[in-house]
Amino acid sequence: MALQQQKIERQPIGDDLYSENQQLRRQLKAFLSQARSNEQKMRRFQEQELQLIRLNSLVQLVNTIIYDYRTAFELDIVTLTLIDPSYELQHIMEDEGVILADHPALAFASTEDELDTFYGVTAGPQLGAYQPDQHAFLFPGVRTKPASVALMPLIRYDELIGSLNLGCMKSERFVAGSATDFLQRLSAVVAICLENAANHERLKRVGLTDFLTGINNRRFFDQRLGEEIMRAQRKETLLGCLLLDIDDFKRVNDTYGHRAGDQVLKEISFLTKQQLRGTDVFARFGGEEFSVLLIDSNGAVTLEIAERIRNAIAEQTVTLDDGQALQVTVSIGVSIYTGGEKVSGSFESAEMLVDQADQALYKAKNSGKNRVICFGKEQGLKIKSLAAEPERT
């Protein structure tokens, strides 16, 4: 009887041990499942990390971040905000043929003030529910707002260069107070890769930039000319070409010295660039000559821009180091590619477009200078009554 009672008394202890064992098994299973999930996430991250590191192109890098990351990390929204005060990154991407308006997930800030204020002194990842009044500027063009977000500052050498913004329709995906080690590593890798890609693009452009004026050089112009001719042929659009030559530039060098000539070249570059759109191509063609490609520009618009350039330069004086005010003018030759003169290929069309502008420029120089002349296909060279007559002494 005593043994039976003792056995009955011990039975609950066995049940407790069994229940505890089952609970431990479930916990172990959950831990193993989480470990496998974390391992898969880490493997995906490493694959993406290696892919980013291999990319030198800024365009490819940005595409990978804002498009591929959505699939790789099972996200609903990924946006990228880059600080670009001098519009350098935007110009780099536009030079690669990117139409920025087609990519609302990519945004640029002219100053770091707004991002600095948002992230504050700690500048660490921020997780939590989406707050429209606080987060809307980081998710431009997003129709369906996320339920939870992870916002990561991109920092290089203690300077904020942008923000990587992740959004999910599940409110439990990004919760305030969660561990951010993984996200901090991700933002660090993205920041390094963005900086490396930007530096790579800058190095590429060293050989395509005129050292004195800071604008594109002849090599860059020739490269873009071929690309734009092919684009105009493919899309049946127009392309305007300008050749600018500084009038009596040799006299400037002979009279005031080459340093004064350099100042004139830089001033002409600055004034011309002010009259152009971001999509246009502007280059130093050689010596005192400059070239311009006006993308999707018909004859009337091309002539208007050419006259605007001529007038802006004629009305501006160049102040030399010794205080002298120097008046300079330019002659401009214009040609228009309409897509009709598809000779044997884009190379021949490109040569012909520049040759026509050169012939118009020659006519402008020999017709009194300080004027715009357009090459006409049927009627030959036409003097446009757009420029003021030069003063006669």
pLDDT digits (tens, 9 = 90+) for 151-199: 999 999 889 999 999 999 999 999 998 878 888 888 999 999 999 999 9
- 218-383 in CATH: which number? 3.30.70.270
Q: Where are the chain's structural domains?
A: 55-204, 218-383
296 and 235 Cβ atoms separated by less than 8 Å: no
- Write out residues in the chain with pLDDT < 50, as ranges: 1, 3, 8, 342-344, 377-393
Radius of gyration of the chain (CA): 32
Kindly report whether the global pTM for this prediction surpasses the value 0.75. Answer: no
State the pLDDT at residue 190.
93
State the pLDDT at residue 307.
96
- Token pair 């780099």: residue: 92
How far is Cα of residue 50 from the mean position of the Cα atoms in its chain?
23
- 55-204 in CATH: which number? 3.30.450.40
Tokens of residue 353, six digits: 């477009």
How far is Cα of residue 390 from the mean position of the Cα atoms in its chain?
41
- What is the signed CA dihedral for 243, 207, 277, 275, rounded to 10 degrees? -50
State the pLDDT at residue 393.
29
State the pLDDT at residue 41.
67
State the pLDDT at residue 379.
35
385 and 374 Cβ atoms separated by less than 8 Å: no
Residue 292 to residues 230, 247, 254, 370, Cα–Cα distance (Å)? 17, 17, 27, 17
**Beta strand 239-246 with 159-168: parallel, antiparallel or unpaired?**
unpaired
Query: CA 300 to CA 276: how far, in whole Å?
Result: 15
- Residues with a catalytic annotation lie at 288
